[in-house]
Chain A
Amino acid sequence: MSYSDKLIDHYENPRNVGAMDKNDDSVGTGLVGAPACGDVMKLQIKVGVDGVIEDAKFKTFGCGSAIASSSLVTEWVKGKTLDEAGAIKNTDIAEHLALPPVKIHCSVLAEDAIKAAITDYKDKSDAADADSKEEVA
């Protein structure tokens, strides 16, 4: 299969590889995919008090397209608000990396990973809010 230069660059030099503390309330973690399907993405976002994503990290088990898709979205989400990040579409990812049709699911998974990380962050901050309200009461 022949891949675009952008895809190969993200595969060979993946951006923002790593892990953040998933118990930190400012960190949202998305873990999507399944080993049995050959793709697992873990995407983490760190959200500032202003609601802007300050940092993002990923680790991916999957083919080159899956690695490149997740690497790309870590770049894209940084500096975005949660709403802006949540609006990233898989088609944008697929287009940017020129994914072959059989690899479109990799971009879908990357979009799912962003959404899962945002949901995790919101769940945690809702819980934290609830905790702090209880303390006030």
Chain B
Amino acid sequence: MNEHRANIKLPIYLDYQATTPLDPRVLETMMPFLTETFGNPHSRSHQFGWEAETAVEKARDQVASLINAKPKDVVFTSGATESNNIAIKGVGRFYKDKRNHIVTLSTEHKCVLESCRALQQEGFDVTYLNVQENGLVDLDHLREAITDKTVLVSVMAVHNEIGVIQPLKEIGAMCRERGVFFHTDAAQAVGKIPLDVDEMNIDLMSISGHKIYGPKGVGALYVRRKPRVRIKPIFSGGGQERGMRSGTLAPFLCVGLGEACAIAEKDMGADNERIRNLWNRLYEGITSVNDEIFLNGDAENRYYGNMNLSFAYIEGESLMMGIKDLAVSSGSACTSASLEPSYVLRALGVDVELAHTSIRMGIGRFTTEEEIDYAVTEINENIRRLRELSPLWEMAQEGIDIKSIEWTEH
């Protein structure tokens, strides 16, 4: 069925937004810290501790360098979820008496939205701004939403589901002008697009290890010191990481994150060019032979490692079952317990019917042309098969407007 099958290891990983494989170069740097170099980086009285500390500080430099930050402004955490929690709850709680309003987007990651909800329980006001149809924030709406009481604006840099890049520089400038802190969840952006905390006036940035070919279980939070951003820590403890995140660091994880950042800084240009070509190949391969395939999220302002498509008349999970050799994820309801389609696609104004037909595909550092060609063949064959099976496709072919039918919602 597929001439490429012989050369390809199945299943093919196309879910780089969920996680990325560990780069072998990263693993290599981590290994010694799982064996002979086992010291506690916070031990000040002997060489074991000093060695571990040196390694952690090198990693901190590497993380900082990638986003043009000062190393001292980088705090290691367990991942972007923790970083987002510390940033939002930490800033909110510290400044609560003076300012108690937060602005974010309705399309943010659940850990941002839930952190905001937690603050609402503590008496904060939160504005959840809707986005435009292309997934981007309307800067005029953002400007109007900021008040004298606003302490923080939190906007994701690259979107996990639809890949759009928000206008960070413009948002940062606006926040600086109004004296509001700007936090960005950059879990999907770090190492993928150029980021500069000074140029973009970013005050806090959440970073994840495992989205950038580093290990799971580690991340970082950039917290600006000049002008100073203060945080009420979530963890009580020994005051490590400038008091913002107590707990013994895991040097092997920090080293892994650092190396992943160093590789990304070096390879970003070449990676992105390759990924862009693969994106075009996949997109052309599908849309050149099929009608009514829709790209979700802006076509230009995006990271091309992400492709979220709606396949009209085909329910997303049934397509995923068909393309079982491809590891992708669905924006449709049927893969989740809630049976509600993606809140992100709904926020974009994607019809609920179409939201049920969406699939997210991720292209990354280790994706090959052969894999993309294989994927195109699989996807196209299943589109044909499942549309043949779809009563909605049949109606569309007969010229019946599906919206004109009185459906019984169940």
Contacts and interface: CB of A to CB of B under 8 A. Distances in A.
Q: Real complex partners, A and B? A: yes
Interface of A: 1, 8, 11, 14, 17, 19, 31-42, 59-67, 102, 105, 108-109
A32 B389 CA distance: 15
B389 A39 contact: no
B293 to A, nearest CB: 16
Contacts of B341: 38
Contacts, number: 85
Given A38-B356, A41-B391, 20 more contacts: A11-B318, A17-B388, A19-B394, A32-B410, A34-B408, A35-B352, A35-B353, A35-B407, A36-B409, A37-B410, A60-B389, A61-B313, A61-B314, A62-B334, A63-B321, A64-B317, A64-B318, A66-B315, A105-B410, A109-B410
B408 A33 contact: yes
Interface string B234-273: 0000000000000000000000000000000000000000
B407 A59 contact: no
Contact of B410 (A14, A19, A33, A63): A33
B394 A38 contact: no
B315 A34 contact: no
Given A17-B389, A35-B353, A102-B337, A62 B315 contact: yes
7 contacts: A17-B388, A17-B389, A36-B356, A62-B318, A63-B317, A105-B339, A109-B410
A73 B262 CA distance: 58
A1 B408 contact: no
Task: Sort A-B residue pairs by CB-CB distance and give the 10 closest, nearest first.
Answer: A34-B407, A63-B334, A42-B391, A35-B353, A38-B356, A63-B317, A59-B391, A64-B321, A36-B352, A61-B390
Interface in B348-392: 352-353, 356, 388-392
A99 to B, nearest CB: 12
B388 A33 contact: no
B397 to A, nearest CB: 11
A72 B6 CA distance: 35
B333 interface: yes
Q: Contact size class for B?
A: 20 to 34
A41 B407 CA distance: 11
B337 to A, nearest CB: 6
A36 B391 contact: no
A38 B339 contact: yes
Looking at chain A's contact residues, the main secondary structure is mixed
Interface string B29-40: 000000000000
A137 B148 CA distance: 84
Nearest to B334: A63
B8 interface: no
Contacts of A38: 315, 332-334, 339, 341, 356
A17 B388 CA distance: 9
A70 to B, nearest CB: 9
Query: Which residue, A1, A33, A63, has most C-beta atoms of chain B within 10 A?
Result: A63
Contacts of B115: none
Contacts of A41: 391
Contact of B321 (A11, A19, A36): A11
A31 B402 CA distance: 12
A31 to B, nearest CB: 7
A43 B15 CA distance: 35
Contacts of B127: none
Contacts of B337: 102
Nearest to A31: B391
Contacts of B339: 37-38, 102, 105
Contact of B356 (A19, A35, A109): A35
Interface in B311-358: 313-315, 317-318, 321, 332-335, 337, 339, 341, 352-353, 356
A116 B256 CA distance: 60
A59 B394 contact: yes
Contacts of A67: 318, 389
B252 to A, nearest CB: 34
A31 B245 CA distance: 57
B345 to A, nearest CB: 13
Contacts of A17: 388-389
A40 B407 CA distance: 9
A12 to B, nearest CB: 8
A34 B410 contact: yes
Interface string B392-410: 1110000000100001111
Contacts of B394: 19, 42, 59
A92 B9 CA distance: 39
B64 to A, nearest CB: 42
